[in-house]
Amino acid sequence: MEGRNITVEFRGTLRPLYRELLTNPPSGIQYRLYDPRYAILARKFSERTGIPGKLARRAYWRLRYNSFFDRTLLHLSNYWDYSPIRMRRKFIADTENVGTFITNWNFKNLALPSIRKQIEDGIKSTYCKKITPLTKAAQQTMEAVLDLSQVRNKIEVVYPAIRAMPTGERKKRENIRILFIGNDFQIKGGREVVEAFSVLRAKYDVELVIVSQEAYSRNLRTQEGVTILPSLSREILLRDWYPNSDIFCLPTYADSFGFVFLEAKAAGLPIVSTNHFHMPEIVQDGESGLLIKSPLSCWKSDFTYNPDWRDMLSHHFPEAVSELVQKLSILIEDTSLRQQMGEVGKQEVENGRFSIDTRNKQLGRIYREALES
């Protein structure tokens, strides 16, 4: 099948992470988006044939998507249902964490043996050709609650990728600009960043730019040196803010995969974050950035979901603030270290594990092996 063009039907939300995939497909791969007009088309089919609605939807679905008529491989992106199994179509599925496999990400349902069996039967199916967690941490959330003994050969981590940004000359400023981008302000550690900045401002000539719809909508009281912006388009962020900042700081407590970290790497920014969940895989502490100990996390140390994490958000985390001050001070004072860490991160998206080329070689092989098996 090498050299032959392959069509892969993509199902999932078109977040920036997946837009990078669809606009930069592996060689010989053509993506087809799942048609969201399915319900409308099925209704028209019912009107044409006179078949009652529910039966018409089922008949239309099978006629349109059954493997007898359509041998296209499915790629389920953070999207899980059992229709691929019922339709007898080959598919692969990627996942940020085990919550992908549960309706509405209701983690409580994982305590039910019947739900776990449904998931395990689904991934053991001969139609499921590959499970591709976005990180090793995502794989560990599966191992923590599911019996994977019969499917380990199907599991392969495939890191997301991003295009490297053109290296341009940064605008000259007298101060150091720290950039925070996260709509969920408190969940992404925004409160602790602002507190740390108050300490840093007394000692250094720094500014803090916060891009957060939550912070902007709440009309948070600002201090000198802090600018709060609403949500901005990705194009504006990539053009105006990443390239003209010096440090990216987002001490997240709840991300399963924060694509903003790859965007910061692509812009050559050193990163300050927490050691939460997957972050040590994205930011190598001391190489492409600096990590602090996360004061809380939506995941427990055994990679099972922590249902009480939101209750802790109201707590104060002085240790986290102190660590942020320490790590940010190191980067503020050392220009060469900032440049060195930024360059390491940029290399990772140019030709390392977060590069388009690395991802495409791996994913292209997975698609072809799935269709051949």
Q: What pLDDT, on a 0 to 100 scale, did the predictor assign at position 64?
A: 60
Q: What pLDDT, on a 0 to 100 scale, did the predictor assign at position 68?
A: 44
Cα–Cα distance, 48 to 209 (Å, whole number): 57
Q: What pLDDT, on a 0 to 100 scale, did the predictor assign at position 102?
A: 84
- Dihedral of the CA atoms 263, 265, 267, 268 (nearest 10)? 170
- 109 CA to centre of own chain: 23
Contacts of residue 100, defined as CB under 8 A and 6 or more positions apart, other chains included, come to: 78, 79, 80, 93, 94
Q: Please choose, from the candidates 212, 211, 201, 202, the residue with its C-alpha nearest in 3D space to the C-alpha of residue 176.
A: 201
**Domain extents in the chain:** 6-161+355-372, 176-351
Q: What pLDDT, on a 0 to 100 scale, did the predictor assign at position 228?
A: 95
Tell which phi-psi region holds residue 306, choosing left (phi > 0), alpha (psi between -120 and 50) or beta: beta
Segments of the chain scoring below 70 in pLDDT: 1-4, 34-42, 54, 57-71, 81-87, 167-171
Instruction: Return the beta strands (E) in the chain as ranges.
Output: 6-12, 29-33, 73-77, 91-95, 128-133, 176-181, 206-211, 226-229, 247-249, 271-274, 289-292
Contact 340, 5 (CB under 8 A): no
Q: What pLDDT, on a 0 to 100 scale, did the predictor assign at position 58?
A: 65
State the amino acid at position 5 in one-letter form. N
Q: Please choose, from the candidates 160, 146, 351, 122, the residue with its C-alpha nearest in 3D space to the C-alpha of residue 255.
A: 160
Which SS3 state, helix, strand or coil, does residue 5 take? coil
Contact 272, 249 (CB under 8 A): yes
On the CB side of 214, how many CA atoms lie within 13 Å of its CA?
12
Question: What tens digit of pLDDT does each residue of 128-140 get?
Answer: 999 999 999 999 9
- Dihedral of the CA atoms 362, 363, 369, 373 (nearest 10)? 140
Give the β-pairing of 226-229 and 206-211.
parallel
Q: What pLDDT, on a 0 to 100 scale, did the predictor assign at position 81?
A: 60
176-351: CATH number: 3.40.50.2000
- 324 CA to centre of own chain: 24
Q: What pLDDT, on a 0 to 100 scale, did the predictor assign at position 41?
A: 67
pTM of the model: 0.89
Tell which phi-psi region holds residue 67, choosing left (phi > 0), alpha (psi between -120 and 50) or beta: alpha
| 114-146 exposure pattern, b = at least 16 Cβ within 10 A, e = fewer | ebbeebbebbebebbbbbbbbbebbbbbbebbb
CATH number among 2.60.120, 3.90.1310, 3.40.50, 2.60.40, domain 6-161+355-372: 3.40.50
Q: What pLDDT, on a 0 to 100 scale, did the predictor assign at position 20?
A: 93
- The answer to whether the 6-161+355-372 and 176-351 domains have the same CATH topology is yes
Q: What pLDDT, on a 0 to 100 scale, did the predictor assign at position 60?
A: 63
Contact 176, 330 (CB under 8 A): no
Q: What pLDDT, on a 0 to 100 scale, did the predictor assign at position 129?
A: 95
